[in-house]
Amino acid sequence: MTFRNEPLLDFSRQENRARFAESLKDVRRKFGSDYPLWIAGEKLETKKWCDSINPAAPEEIVGRVPAAGRTEADQAVIHATEHFPEWAATPANERAKFLFRAAEIMRSRRLELAAWELFEVGKGWREADADVAEAIDYLEYYGQEMLRLSEPRVTQKLPGESNVYVYEPRGLAVVIAPWNFPLAILAGMTAAALVTGNCAIVKPAEQSPVTGALLVEILREAGVPESACQLLQGGGELGAYVVRHSAVHLIAFTGSRDVGLEILRTAYDRQPGQEHVKRVVCEMGGKNAIIVDQDADLDEAVVHILESAFGYQGQKCSAASRLILVDEIHDLLLDRLIEAVRSLKIGPPEDPRNFIGPVIDAAAHAKIMSYVDLGKWEGRCVLEREAPTKGFFVGPTIFSEVQPEHRLANEEIFGPVLAALKAKDFNHALQIANRSAYALTGGVFSRSPAHIEKARREFRVGNLYINRGITGAIVERQPFGGLKLSGIGSKAGGPDYLLQFLEPRTISENTLRHGFVPPEELKH
């Protein structure tokens, strides 16, 4: 079996545009529906309901979900624990088949899923489609990876002794996801947990619960048993409760640095009755830099910087938020970039002409605006585009004269705000880039082979991109994940990822005959 990435939809074709516009209308008609929790075989409701809203028009309720409390979390844990031996004993190829089937269902519902994302988290057409394609990739890729890993490996061939190395599931996995890739990241972590034989409790982000509910619906439809994959909806308090639970073996988390560090701290704290050390897969934030060298192709650089910094409103963990410009080209590049960003259209993502959509919610809006205010103190505001006041819109903003020690150059803003820093030369630019405590993605635009080679060696980031944009990692092609405070996991979409969800065991057997088998055993 060869893995192939799911191709993206070509929206330059009229029929694709028409089909997607139709899906948007269909999904709109389903706004405001209820999506219960799924615990074992039951669809459950609770007394407290939470609205998922359209960030481009916050008065529109995309869907409603019941908030799970401790009672529901405990129930899910009990069912998962009881079911674990059966799920773990299901052959790996059958578990993989469930993922392949789920991928097939996603393909058949592709436009609908993208439409839900557009409304629930404010993604543009291409971004929403790419997220669904990535989710399909994870299902296919991890399914195939598990087929590879499930073969017992003979460590060494010795006469008279067999030595094999096998992988086993860990137990109960809790999946805690962010909202910014609401299907792909959730599907990736859940698929990894399930295909390796762990029971999964899935907790989507509170901002994207409908997309989360749709994922679990698809997995169930694909045949994943009820207690192997359960759905809890809620926020940080619920997440923290399940992380602490003594029956949980593994936490697969993607989200912010502060929450990730908190999860690491509490997960390693042994709870009464807990007889294992929890494993935490923890992917966190970034403060990603693009360096532009003096000999770079500036036309090319501008296009990619614009996409990397402002695509999906800068709300990608991989987004560029620091632009480090070598002195010679500083003014020229900045002028060109400012003009390019001035041309971007801002407005609801339903209209495909809009490049800049809303940020996720009121809290994000307030946080980003506070950084815009701070930027005016720390640096020089060279562009602040006006944005619609209805909905959570922030106009793309660029600051120059930012210094490496400024907060603007060190803290993750997660919005369409770019801080430009000036470097004396390429070496200085690299030094500035590496100052960050985060180390997720990074980019270099240069025509100098020596500088490119130096960046390969010394630019300390998990994903380095040379003469291209720094977002949009593709499953298998660019396994994704950071260093330093950006994460401690093996890379998502890469060959080591599933190993984190497994426990290796070595089994050695003396195969020389030792006397005779007792006659009564021979009878059986």
Question: Which residue numbers are catalytic?
Answer: 283, 317
Nearest alpha-carbon partner for 251 in 238, 233, 239, 236: 239
243 near ligand NAD (CB under 6 A): yes
- Least separation in angstroms between residue 466's CB and ligand NAD is 20
- Count of residues touching ligand NAD (by CB under 6 A): 32
The contacts of residue 367 (CB under 8 Å, 6+ apart) are 413, 414, 415
Q: Choose between 103 and 263: whose C-beta lies nearer to ligand NAD.
A: 263
Helix (H, G, I), strand (E, B) or coil at 439: strand
* Cβ count near 496 (within 10 Å): 12
Considering Cα of 462, then 466, then 467, then 472, what sign does the dihedral take? negative
Q: Choose between 286 and 442: whose C-beta lies nearer to ligand NAD.
A: 286
Cα-based angle 175, 357, 418 (whole degrees, multiple of 5): 85
Only segment of 17-25, 42-50, 238-246, 500-508 that touches ligand NAD (CB under 6 A): 238-246
131 near ligand NAD (CB under 6 A): no
DSSP string for 108-153:
HTHHHHHHHHHHHH---HHHHHHHHHHHHHHHHHHHHHHHHHTS-E
Only segment of 67-75, 110-118, 233-241, 449-457 that touches ligand NAD (CB under 6 A): 233-241
Helix (H, G, I), strand (E, B) or coil at 324: strand
Kindly give the pairing relationship between strand 441-445 and strand 288-292: parallel
- Least separation in angstroms between residue 267's CB and ligand NAD is 9
Only segment of 89-97, 129-137, 172-180, 345-353 that touches ligand NAD (CB under 6 A): 172-180
Q: Choose between 101 and 491: whose C-beta lies nearer to ligand NAD.
A: 491
What single letter denotes the amino acid at residue 81? T
- 417-476 residues in contact with ligand NAD (CB under 6 A) are 440
482 near ligand NAD (CB under 6 A): yes
Q: Choose between 218 and 267: whose C-beta lies nearer to ligand NAD.
A: 267
Select the residue interacting with ligand NAD from 124, 182, 285, 494 (CB under 6 A). 285
Q: How far apart are CA 205 and CA 202, in angstroms?
A: 10
- 202-221 residues in contact with ligand NAD (CB under 6 A) are 203, 205-206
236 near ligand NAD (CB under 6 A): yes
DSSP, res 404: T
112 near ligand NAD (CB under 6 A): no
494 near ligand NAD (CB under 6 A): no
Counting every residue, how long is the chain? 524
* Cβ count near 64 (within 10 Å): 18
- Least separation in angstroms between residue 319's CB and ligand NAD is 8
Separation of CA 117 from chain center: 14
177 near ligand NAD (CB under 6 A): yes
**Measured at CB, which residue is nearest to ligand NAD?**
239
Rounded to the nearest 10 degrees, how much is the dihedral formed by the CA atoms of 66, 71, 76, 79?
Answer: -140
Q: Choose between 98 and 312: whose C-beta lies nearer to ligand NAD.
A: 312
Q: Choose between 180 and 400: whose C-beta lies nearer to ligand NAD.
A: 180
Give the chain's end-to-end CA distance (angstroms, integer). 40
Kindly give the pairing relationship between strand 380-384 and strand 397-400: antiparallel
Kindly give the pairing relationship between strand 417-423 and strand 397-400: parallel
412 near ligand NAD (CB under 6 A): yes
DSSP string for 5-70:
PPPPP-TTSHHHHHHHHHHHHHHHHTTTEE--EEETTEEE--S-EEEEEETTEEEEEEEEEEPP-H
284 near ligand NAD (CB under 6 A): yes
- Least separation in angstroms between residue 413's CB and ligand NAD is 10
- Least separation in angstroms between residue 5's CB and ligand NAD is 18
- Least separation in angstroms between residue 361's CB and ligand NAD is 9
- 252-271 residues in contact with ligand NAD (CB under 6 A) are 254-256, 259, 262-263
What single letter denotes the amino acid at residue 474? I
What single letter denotes the amino acid at residue 146? M
- Least separation in angstroms between residue 394's CB and ligand NAD is 15
- Least separation in angstroms between residue 492's CB and ligand NAD is 6
Q: Choose between 184 and 325: whose C-beta lies nearer to ligand NAD.
A: 184
**Strands (DSSP E) along 198-260, which ranges?**
199-203, 229-231, 250-254
Nearest alpha-carbon partner for 302 in 398, 379, 381: 398
Q: Choose between 262 and 503: whose C-beta lies nearer to ligand NAD.
A: 262
**Strands (DSSP E) along 301-370, which ranges?**
320-326
67 near ligand NAD (CB under 6 A): no
Q: Choose between 84 and 312: whose C-beta lies nearer to ligand NAD.
A: 312
- Least separation in angstroms between residue 364's CB and ligand NAD is 8
414 near ligand NAD (CB under 6 A): yes
Q: Position of tokens 């990397």?
A: 308
Binding site for ligand NAD (CB under 6 A): 176-181, 185, 203, 205-206, 235-236, 239-240, 243, 254-256, 259, 262-263, 283-286, 317, 412, 414, 440, 482, 486-487
